[in-house]
Amino acid sequence: MAAPSGADNQEHWSGKFAFIMAAVGSAVGLGNLVRFPYIAGDSGGGAFVLIYLACVLLLGLPVLVAELMIGRRGGGSAIGAVVRLAKNENNSKLWGIVPAIGVVTTFLVLSYYCVLAGWVLNFVFLSVQDVFSSVGSGAGLGAVAYNEMTEAEISGQLGELVSNPWQMVIMTGLFMALTIFIVSRGIKGGIETAANILMPIFFVLLLLLTISSLINGNDAAALDFLFKPDWSEVDGGVILRAVGQAFFSLSLGSAMMITYGLYMNKDEDIPGSARIVAFSDTSVALIAGLAIFPIIFASPVLMESVLAEDPGLGLMFESIPLAFHQLPFGGIFAIAFFIMTIFAALTSAIALLEVSVAWFDGDIDVSAVQRRRRRIRGAIILGGLAFLIGCMNALSQVPTSVANTFFNTWEPLSFIALFDGMTILDAIDTLTGSVLLPIGGVATAVFAGWVISAQVAKDEIGFKKASTFTIWRTLVRYVVPIFIGIVLVYGAIIGPMRARADAGSEAAQVIEEMTTPSE
């Protein structure tokens, strides 16, 4: 018998449904449930949401189609696929650098994603504990959430967690272990199975929580906040964050969707699948807003604190537990909420790890048994490495008043204005979200639009109408590169440099005022 070629030996999705579940599972995650609501809150609410929707439609969707096309057409590994396609077009092999950077990007994202997911896991345990203690106290399940706790204790849970480095390391490790386990089982046995089980439960929980929030909450204020645009907050930085968030949420601009494209069968419909993925992901972000803000805004105190300050992660880990605290059966809702979030985070972390494991698997002909071994080894080594960087990220979150962990004072990239005052976790988040993903998106669009010939692209994507192909090609050739290029220069270079200069001149003024003797 002839030795199987790499392509024959590659695992494929077992069908359209499995692919969609896995891709939606990768897209829907902490980006929708945590990052989107708080960035929207910090960046002008409705105005940000509108800009975000435009970014998904005009930048995200065409790049998603491009990535799936590149992966399926090229085959092998993400880097191999791009190199092969470039060679076919008599272009430089150096294009392989783009997916190579993508692999590094997903790895970096994973290194802090697992920390935040660890926090969520911790809150799953906390919310379960709280309900059981209220049952134990005789108050029963119907009691108000967190029966045994005062509000101060509830809002202090996050502070307690970040003050406890070991707790964070253990939770991060637990989450990573789950992720490694699933990825090591391969495409069909691991990723697909996990997505097929976790995603349907996720959607049911999201629906139930949204309905209960709309019934119990202050819908008018939430709708105002999410959909009434305040254009005064919009500047280059906000537009860049919308672009970055769109790429982050759709898992684009790294090698991720190229990797998932590798496993697509030839008869699957790329434009149709891309539409479903983009639509589901965006709907989940908006619906999550409707699950979260009405119940937060039901309390005037919480509403004021969220609107007045940039809540950041406090939104998820302080405001939300407090908001559930006011609801009857709130404890149950809190459990449902954090379980839903951990499911979404897990299917995304699997995808993030899969990118580097697929690279580690290589692009060569080996037997199925060898492939399995390589996969297990790759998942453990790379997942372990991400966990180690994750520990540094976790230690950077410990308040300096509690302990000096070195990482909570270290600002590794602050010589660049964009990263002013950021410890490693925030620096990696901003570097990947606002720089690497948008640049990766531009490079992918240029590759798909300018390097790959129109004939090949048309043939592989299989748009039903010729005009759709023309629109797609115009978007990837011109709109994506030019628009993101401008936004990057303003948002990542000019804006932060101005801010730094302003801060500098303000400081100079203060010093001058202090040193000039008053009359």
Span near ligand TRP by CB under 6 A; candidates 166-174, 184-192, 243-251, 335-343: 243-251
Helix (H) or strand (E) holding 19: helix 16-27
Give the span between the Cα atoms of 514 and 383, in whole angstroms. 53
Measured from the CB atom, is 20 or 256 closer to ligand TRP?
256
Closest distance between ligand TRP and the C-beta of residue 82, in Å? 16
Measured from the CB atom, is 165 or 253 closer to ligand TRP?
253
- 243 neighbors 484 (Cβ within 8 angstroms): yes
Tell me, by CB under 6 A, how many residues bind ligand TRP.
16
Binding mask 194-233 for ligand TRP (x = CB under 6 A): ----------------------------------------
Among 10, 26, 172, 282, interactor with ligand TRP by CB under 6 A: 26
Measured from the CB atom, is 226 or 258 closer to ligand TRP?
258
Measured from the CB atom, is 284 or 296 closer to ligand TRP?
284
Among 43, 106, 212, 430, interactor with ligand TRP by CB under 6 A: 106
By the rule CB under 6 A, 249 interacts with ligand TRP: yes
Measured from the CB atom, is 26 or 213 closer to ligand TRP?
26
By the rule CB under 6 A, 183 interacts with ligand TRP: no
By CB neighbour count within 10 A (0-12 exposed, 13-18 middle, 19+ buried), where does 293 fall?
A: buried
Is 513 in a helix, a strand, or coil? Answer: helix
Among 18, 19, 24, 32, interactor with ligand TRP by CB under 6 A: 32
What is the 3 state secondary structure string of 174-205?
HHHHHHHHHHHCCHHHHHHHHHHHHHHHHHHH
Give the span between the Cα atoms of 250 and 31, in whole angstroms. 9
Measured from the CB atom, is 106 or 172 closer to ligand TRP?
106
How far separated are the first and last CA of the chain, in Å rounded?
Answer: 97
Give the span between the Cα atoms of 328 and 351, in whole angstroms. 37
Closest distance between ligand TRP and the C-beta of residue 141, in Å? 32
By the rule CB under 6 A, 340 interacts with ligand TRP: no
Q: What angle do CA 68, 69, 72 make, to 5 degrees?
A: 80
By the rule CB under 6 A, 261 interacts with ligand TRP: no
Span near ligand TRP by CB under 6 A; candidates 28-36, 160-168, 460-468, 488-496: 28-36
By the rule CB under 6 A, 31 interacts with ligand TRP: yes
Q: Which two tokens stand for residue 75?
A: 């085959």
By the rule CB under 6 A, 98 interacts with ligand TRP: no
Among 27, 206, 315, 461, interactor with ligand TRP by CB under 6 A: 27
Give the span between the Cα atoms of 440 and 248, in whole angstroms. 11
Measured from the CB atom, is 254 or 444 closer to ligand TRP?
254
Binding mask 57-96 for ligand TRP (x = CB under 6 A): ----------------------------------------
Scan residues 352-391 and list those touching ligand TRP (CB under 6 A). 352
In angstroms, the Cα distances linking 17 to 99, 205, 239, 267, 447 are 26, 20, 34, 13, 29
By CB neighbour count within 10 A (0-12 exposed, 13-18 middle, 19+ buried), where does 384 fall?
A: middle
By the rule CB under 6 A, 258 interacts with ligand TRP: no
Q: Residues 395-402: contacts with CB within 8 Å, 24+ apart?
A: 395/165, 395/168, 396/423, 396/424, 396/425, 396/426, 397/115, 397/162, 397/168, 397/423, 397/425, 398/162, 398/163, 398/165, 399/159, 399/162, 399/163, 402/163
Among 161, 194, 256, 418, interactor with ligand TRP by CB under 6 A: 256
By the rule CB under 6 A, 30 interacts with ligand TRP: yes
Closest distance between ligand TRP and the C-beta of residue 16, in Å? 20
By the rule CB under 6 A, 29 interacts with ligand TRP: yes
Per-residue b/e over 27-65, b at no fewer than 16 CB within 10 Å? bbbbbbbbbbbbbbbbbbbbbbbbbbbbbbeebbbbbbb
Closest distance between ligand TRP and the C-beta of residue 436, in Å? 9
In angstroms, the Cα distances linking 325 to 90, 111, 269 are 62, 32, 45
- Interface residues toward ligand TRP, by CB under 6 A: 26-27, 29-32, 106, 109, 248-249, 251, 254, 256, 348, 351-352
